[in-house]
Structure 1
Amino acid sequence: MTPRLIVSDLDGTLLGSDHVLHESTIEVLRALTEQGHQLTLASGRHYRDMKVFRDELGVPMHLISSNGAYTHAPDDTLLAAHHVDPEKARALIELERPANVRLSLYLDDAWYIDSESPGHLAMHAATGFVYQVVPASEMPVNGIGKVLYGGDPLELARIEASVRQIGGDDLHVTYSTPNSLEIMAGGVNKGVALAALLERLNLRADECLAFGDNLNDVEMLALAGEAHYMANAHPEMAGRLGRGRQIGHHHEAGVAELLRERFGL
């Protein structure tokens, strides 16, 4: 069988509801690597937050992090980094927002948040990657891969409208969950990062299988020759893609089950 590039989102896709890898998922991914297939993780998470899962799998893989802002090689070499324009970053940091909406920055090697947030800590407990509390007035404007606002979806919708006025084509705006509004530099998304990686690996898009569940996965799934979205995917996913196959639920190792079927494991 021709080797493929298999690329997957993490939360809501490859990880269970507990934000950890299923044993069956680990087994299947290791078996595919032994068959000569290549693996890539593509997530909104920070690179340092993702590499824990790569290390747990114990197989070489590229990492696309912060929704495409960074790409790392299997040996941790940084292959690409795209930062938000400093003036746009300043405007995003200073943007007026409700007190219960948290502001986060993903920098090259750190995660800053404007106030304590137990909910954020719980999601990342399995990796040990934690934020540093930094008041918005002291946050930097340089070297930012991603800006996040976390809070109620209705409040985020109002913030999104302001962000789009600030950014125009200079910012890419998406959601990883209904409670997480995420902003990168213009033209930065998982699909663009995947296209660059395919070129680096001398592979075609039709030699790639991709898995995702939310709006920040749309560009990646649209590019891949075989697009799969989860049973728990965002309700607009099918309409946004216009193609692709719906598979099982992330809490039931839907990706692993599809891969077993697809590759006869």
Structure 2
Amino acid sequence: MEPYLVFSDIDGTLVIDHQIVTPFTKRVIRELQQRDVIFYIATGRMYNLGKVIARQINDDARIIASNGAVFENEQGSVQHHLGYAALKAAYEITQSDPRLSAHFFYD
């Protein structure tokens, strides 16, 4: 039988006070994992910030971060980077309108 996957956002879902995973939440996640459910934290945050939350849960909690640009699987973390042309186009668009801003980051 294929394992189930459970995905949880961080803010307003998994944590309280922006950084704290409650003991009850940790216990529920561990019970799911003991039933072969793969638990993922899915976040728009950068990978390292997702890792801070995952460490509170346990070593088996996986991460999808940076709006999907970085994710973990059995072999480790996988990263997808935008190419130069895409980055340049995004930057130029944000420069054309003072109401727009851009934030570029990597691990």
TM-score, normalised on structure 2?
A: 0.77
| Match of residue 67 from structure 2 | 67
Judge conservation of contact 1:62–1:73 (CA < 8 Å) in 2: yes
Q: Deviations over 1:75-120 (max 9, x none)?
A: 7x3323142612223214424325xx8x4524222xxxxxxxxxxx
| Divergent runs of 4+, >3 A | none
In 2, Cα distance between equivalents of 1:2 and 1:90: 42
TM-score, normalised on structure 1?
A: 0.35
Please state which structure has a larger fraction of its residues in strand: 1
Pairing of 1:217-228 with structure 2 (within 5 A): none
Cα gap change, 1:86 to 1:106, in 2 (>3 Å) = closer
| Match of residue 107 from structure 1 | 105
SS at match of 1:96: coil
Higher-Rg structure is 1
Q: CA RMSD in A?
A: 2.6
Cα gap change, 1:9 to 1:105, in 2 (>3 Å) = same
| Match of residue 7 from structure 2 | 7
Cα gap change, 1:92 to 1:60, in 2 (>3 Å) = farther
Pairing of 1:1-265 with structure 2 (within 5 A): 3-16=3-16, 18-19=17-18, 20-73=20-73, 77-83=76-82, 85-98=86-99, 103=101, 105-109=103-107
Q: Deviations over 1:192-224 (max 9, x none)?
A: xxxxxxxxxxxxxxxxxxxxxxxxxxxxxxxxx
Gaps of 5+ in 1: 110-265
Q: Deviations over 1:219-244 (max 9, x none)?
A: xxxxxxxxxxxxxxxxxxxxxxxxxx
The alignment covers a number of residue pairs equal to 104
Q: Percent identity?
A: 28
Instruction: Give 1:36 deviation, angstroms.
Output: 1.9
Gaps of 5+ in 2: none
Judge conservation of contact 1:61–1:73 (CA < 8 Å) in 2: no
Judge conservation of contact 2:70–2:80 (CA < 8 Å) in 1: yes
